[in-house]
């Protein structure tokens, strides 16, 4: 089993990373801030425009450490990664398989997303039954269950996308009910992405970006092309297959956002509002969210298909490996990640 290593997050906007032997060195304002060895680093996320040296990028490519460049506002900019692992025959099989509409794979992926969303609502309802005083949460659960059923009754991808979209809207319409504390400062009227216009959307968008980058690393590490998916359309610069696999994982992000708000691990002062009305995490806010994210990645879970304990941070690699097995014909179907 793959070992979960550390992710290095660079939040200082003036920081510049360089190479010194077998160490990554972070410099800012003409002084060295810290240095870390390559041996325990899995990937790097740079939230500054200064970036890093070509020598460091070359070393990271050699060691298979992905370097992700993200704007201070959380927008993905670029990615540097070494040679794709695996063999060309796996990617050839991927291209051949995904050139044909994968209806069962699409159905199962959307159904898994809706099922995991239902699990999150049920768990919140179990812990706090009073949030369902008017039956809005049970109505949403029924709507999601009907969506799961309807997904398997249609053979039209566009209709399935419509079902997913309507179910997502129903879910985010009641998302506010799951926020139990700091309700005056944290609320979600609707899901807004580019740009986020409130603090909850800012947290969701930031963590979705990190999650997609994690899945991209995982897919490339098992030899798959992260840009060719089976559900999301091809788009230049987008890792469509990463977006596909993240669908069943979104509930993990959403649970963390709710936990941080409800336990008051994040506060209004951890955000910045721009003149345009866009809301983003501040540098301190990013630190808090990423610290909680790293802690969550180290949490042990029992994988529903493997029946083994793994760290949650390994989930992208496990799911990517299972997808590769499915593409090679070693599995009859791809086992989606389902919360139980």
Considering the domain boundaries, does residue 337 fall inside one?
no
Q: What are the two backbone dihedrals, phi and then psi, of residue 242, each rounded to the nearest 5 degrees?
A: -60, -45
Which pLDDT value is given to residue 243? 94
- How, if at all, do strands 41-46 and 76-80 pair? unpaired
- At 84, the pLDDT band (50, 70, 90 cuts) reads low
Same structural domain for residues 108 and 155? yes
Q: Which carries the bigger pLDDT value, residue 41 or residue 83?
A: 41
- 97 and 68 within one domain: no
In a domain, 336, yes or no: no
Domain that holds residue 322: 88-328
CB 317 within 8 Å of CB 297: no
Question: What is the overall mean pLDDT for the chain?
Answer: 87
Q: What is the pLDDT of residues 20-40, one digit of tens each?
A: 888 888 888 878 888 888 887
H/E element holding 181? none
pLDDT more than 70, % of the chain = 96
pLDDT tens sequence across 294-308: 888 888 888 888 888
Question: Residue 65 maps to which CATH number?
Answer: 3.100.10.20
Pair 126, 68 in one domain: no
Q: What is the pLDDT of residue 60?
A: 86
User: Above 70 in pLDDT, residue 3?
Assistant: no
42 and 185 fall within a common domain: no
Q: Give the pLDDT of residue 277.
A: 83
pLDDT digits (tens, 9 = 90+) for 108-158: 999 999 999 999 999 998 888 888 888 899 999 999 999 999 999 999 999
Q: For residue 273, what is the enclosing H or E element?
A: strand 271-273
Tell me the C-alpha distance between 11 and 166, whole Å.
36
Q: Which of 63, 80, 97 is the last residue of a domain?
A: 80
Between residues 11 and 98, the one the model is more confident about: 98
Within a domain: 161: yes
Choice among 92-101, 181-190, 252-261 with the minimum mean pLDDT: 181-190
Q: How many domains does the chain have?
A: 2
Whether residues 316 and 179 fall in one domain:
yes
Q: Which residue has the higher pLDDT, 193 or 110?
A: 110
Which band of pLDDT confidence, cut at 50, 70 and 90, is reported for residue 218?
A: confident
Q: How confident is the model at residue 5 (pLDDT cuts 50, 70, 90)?
A: low
pLDDT at 162: 94
Q: Range with the lowest mean pLDDT among 5-9, 167-171, 265-269?
A: 5-9
320 inside domain: yes
Measured between alpha carbons, how far is 250 from 148 in angstroms, rounded to an integer?
17
Q: Are 329 and 22 in contact (CB under 8 A)?
A: no
Angle at which helix 136-151 crosses helix 103-127, to 10 degrees, equals 160
Q: What is the mean pLDDT of residues 83-91?
A: 75
pTM for the predicted model, two decimal places: 0.81
Q: Are residues 65 and 127 in the same domain?
A: no
The edge-to-edge listing of strands for the beta sheet with 23-28 is: 16-20, 23-28, 31-37
Over residues 212-221, mean pLDDT: 85
Q: Tell me: cis bond preceding 195? Omega within 30 of 0 counts.
A: yes
Q: Does 285 lie in the same domain as 141? A: yes
* pLDDT at residue 217 in the model: 81
């Amino acid at each position: 089993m793959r070992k979960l290593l550390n992710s290095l997050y660079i939040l200082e906007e003036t920081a510049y990373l360089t190479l010194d032997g077998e160490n990554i060195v972070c410099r800012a304002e003409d002084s060295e801030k810290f240095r870390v060895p390559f041996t325990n680093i899995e990937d790097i996320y740079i939230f500054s425009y200064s970036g890093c040296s070509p020598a460091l990028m070359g070393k990271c490519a050699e060691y298979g450490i992905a370097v992700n460049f993200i704007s201070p506002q959380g927008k993905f900019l670029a990615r540097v990664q070494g040679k794709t692992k695996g063999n060309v025959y796996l990617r050839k099989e991927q291209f051949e398989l995904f050139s044909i509409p994968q209806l069962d794979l699409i159905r199962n992926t959307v159904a898994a997303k809706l099922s995991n969303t239902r699990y999150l609502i049920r768990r919140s309802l179990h812990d706090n039954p009073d949030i369902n005083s008017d039956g809005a949460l049970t109505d949403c659960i029924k709507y999601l269950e009907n969506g799961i059923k309807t997904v398997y009754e249609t053979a039209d991808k566009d209709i399935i996308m419509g079902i997913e979209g309507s179910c997502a809207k129903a879910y985010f319409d009641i998302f506010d009910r799951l926020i139990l504390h700091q309700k005056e400062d944290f609320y979600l009227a609707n899901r807004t992405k580019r740009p986020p216009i409130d603090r909850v959307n800012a947290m969701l968008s930031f963590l979705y970006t990190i999650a997609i980058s994690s899945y991209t690393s995982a897919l490339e590490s098992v030899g798959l092309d992260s840009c060719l998916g089976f559900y999301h359309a091809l788009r230049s610069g987008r890792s469509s297959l990463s977006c596909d696999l993240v669908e069943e994982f979104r509930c993990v992000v959403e649970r963390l956002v709710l936990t941080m708000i409800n336990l008051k691990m994040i506060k209004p002062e951890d955000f910045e509002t721009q003149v345009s009305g866009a809301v983003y995490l501040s540098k301190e806010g990013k630190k808090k969210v990423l610290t909680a994210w790293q802690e969550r990645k180290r949490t042990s879970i029992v994988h529903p298909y493997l029946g083994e304990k793994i760290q949650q941070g390994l989930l992208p690699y496990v799911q990517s490996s299972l997808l590769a097995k499915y593409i090679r014909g070693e599995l009859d179907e791809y086992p989606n990640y389902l919360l139980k």
